[in-house]
Chain A
Amino acid sequence: MSENKALGGKILTKPFIILAILAGIAGILLIKRFIFGLGAVTNLSDGYPWGMWIVYDVLVGTALGCGGYVLAILVYIFNKGKYHPLIRPAVLTSVFGYTLAGLSIFIDVGRYWQLYNIFLPWHVNLNSIMFEVAFCVATYVLVLWIEISPAFLEKFNKTKALGFMNKILFIFIAIGVLLPTMHQSTLGTLMVIAGNKLSGLWQTGWLPLLFLISSIMMGYAIVVFESLYSSIGFKRPFETPILGKLGKLMAWLGLIFIAVRFGDLIWRGQLGLLFTDGWANSTMFIIENLLFIVPMVMLFSEKNRKSTKSLFLIAVAILLAGAVYRFDAFLVGFDPGQGWHYWPSASELLITIGIVAIEIMAYLAFIKWLPILPNIKHTTS
């Protein structure tokens, strides 16, 4: 019947318990954060008001959560039904990626008890890039849970509700493609207002397009990475042929990204900053762009697209590329002047690790409990 199947098996495995301990440590530190304030656990300052949580948990986290978005474009918009079995696992990562990003925002904002002001029309500022991001991300979290709801309905045999849901699901799929297109680009626009505080190597009016393209690439990469990982981890057949085809798309997107990135730098005459902007900026700029260029070049070769090992390495490189680009555009290239500096504190890192642990735990529990992963017969046919 369904093309997805619950994996079954024990949920409380050894890795799961280790992850739970990591989550517990983060929980204790969070108590400290809510009693004594953000300064008690973070190295954030008036010069660097955003750090690890915003850049990793929100920016990188939601971009890693773009798998569902990207597959929805393929399956429903380009009508590539053969990718359909991959949709549910990808949407599930998106669900947790985005939900946990939402949780991180709640932890990070100072006045969390007033967060709902974002939704009150008399408070809303339509000029604010932050408003678009916050509103869009919050709505998308809701849409993602609706998109994954058929898995619950199948599990509990709610046939009638499932039939209805399947009929109207296309509305949420369409919204579910629109919203990430909007906020993944707008996340880049956030930094435009930082003006001179962001190095010319990253400050550009093209930030939204670059963020959008790289988030789509990361979405593809996470699908590749995840499906290869679950093939190995759960001893399932590899999905290399499908993944290889996805790879060619990634190559083209990578080429567009690099063309826009360097075209813009040359057009603005800012490429020289590579030699004058300090060693940290230069080094990170080179690492970032190599991480984009190398997998792109590799993906144009058919041999690599057919090799499971190469695909895995390529996917990892793309995920790193997008992550480094986000760190660069928000932290490395950001200099408020006046001698401010930032390096995340141990507590900040432990809280981020705890949040990632919760994400993985929830994913592991859900694929064992709900019909998420592709039913093998269909994927190999």
Chain B
Amino acid sequence: MSIDRRDFFKVISAGAITAATAGSVFAREKKKLAPDAIGILYDATLCIGCKLCEVGCKEYNDMPPEQTSLVDDLNVPLIWDNGDDLTAKTMNKIKLFRNGNASKKDSATDGYAFIKRACMHCVDPDCVSACPVTALDKDPVTGVVTYDAKACIGCRYCQVACPFNVPKFEWDDPFPKIVKCQMCDHVQESGGMPGCCYYCPTGASLYGKVEDLMAEAHKRIELAEGSRYDYQVKSLDDGETAQRTVQKYVNYVYGEKETGGTQYMILSAVPFHDLGLPNLPDKSAAGKSETLQHTIYKGLIAPGALLTGLLVAAYRGSKSQHESEERRS
């Protein structure tokens, strides 16, 4: 074969070395929680499923109501449930887990429990890493993952990236946007709190600084089952409390480690898997993806070197090409 096999393998091995080094340095620093980051602690044992948080969310964010059919597939009237998941119209959703005869709240067998789904506001968000135009961004102070429609091109890579399937897209709008919870950052500027926390009558959705909420979560896990505890309502520092009986918590705060940590944290008495929360590694996929990319493109050295080599080769190649053409004619 007249193709210089040596040259060919030179190129191939150069590629392989680049990829191999990329493989071995698979560890970009984990992103750290901002010291003043704010968040929400959702305590599923306190949730009574009243959905006032959904009302508050829609009111604060001026969102339209869902319009689902009045009966389900089996012709059962849907007077209570209106839509059953996050959509481009709903950024906050109470869902129901039930098992067996569903007679006992917060029991994994023959019981039921509520779970509130919304953006997790990851400490190391995959969607922010994915967004090519910084339409999704993480506030350096509050840590809120914000969305700017003026930047967004609608490529939906955030939807591919999000491990919680949170960002929603307005499929039926000719001028669509991505819709997701932004922790009501528009009212926080004037000292307000997210609509879901303000409306929650039991303190199931609790607003505060992430560090304080995490400490509170661990404190609750330690409480004796059946004892009485003054649960904070609305926010940690609001002073408003409601006394309730402590349930047996799962000894884990969901969101402490998931995908590098989240600013929306969850306490529950039934296993998190039953509530439909995904089992995730404690590192974000964004970390892997960025490490891989930045190893290959570090300082643009590899592409720069490749381009220089290509320029020289292409110059020589096209020169000898012209010469042979001239000889021919």
Contacts and interface: CB of A to CB of B under 8 A. Distances in A.
B140 interface: no
Interface string B160-188: 11010101111111111100000000000
Given A129-B293, A175-B307, A123 B159 contact: no
A129 B130 contact: yes
Interface size classification for chain B = 35 or more
Interface of B: 1-4, 7-8, 11-12, 15-16, 19, 22-23, 26, 85, 87-88, 126, 128-135, 149-157, 159-161, 163, 165, 167-177, 276, 278, 280-281, 285-286, 288-290, 292-294, 296-297, 303, 306-307, 310-311, 313-322, 324-325, 328-329
B15 A212 contact: yes
A126 to B, nearest CB: 9
A177 B314 contact: yes
B132 A112 contact: no
A29 to B, nearest CB: 14
B126 to A, nearest CB: 5
Residue from B16, B22, B313, B328 whose CB has the most chain A CB atoms within 10 Å: B313
B4 A3 contact: no
A118 B153 contact: yes
Contacts of B294: 127
Residue from A108, A169, A174, A192 whose CB has the most chain B CB atoms within 10 Å: A174
Given A77-B314, A129-B289, A182-B303, A37 B156 contact: no
B130 A256 contact: no
B25 to A, nearest CB: 10
Contacts of A125: 128-129, 131-134
Given A36-B174, A178-B307, A78 B3 contact: yes
Contacts of B128: 125
Contact of A174 (B23, B155, B313): B313
Contacts of B173: 37
Contact of B293 (A47, A186, A252): A186
Contacts of A74: 3
A37 B132 contact: no
B72 to A, nearest CB: 15
B153 A115 contact: yes
A223 to B, nearest CB: 14
11 contacts: A38-B171, A46-B87, A49-B160, A77-B317, A123-B151, A193-B129, A205-B23, A205-B26, A209-B16, A245-B2, A336-B165
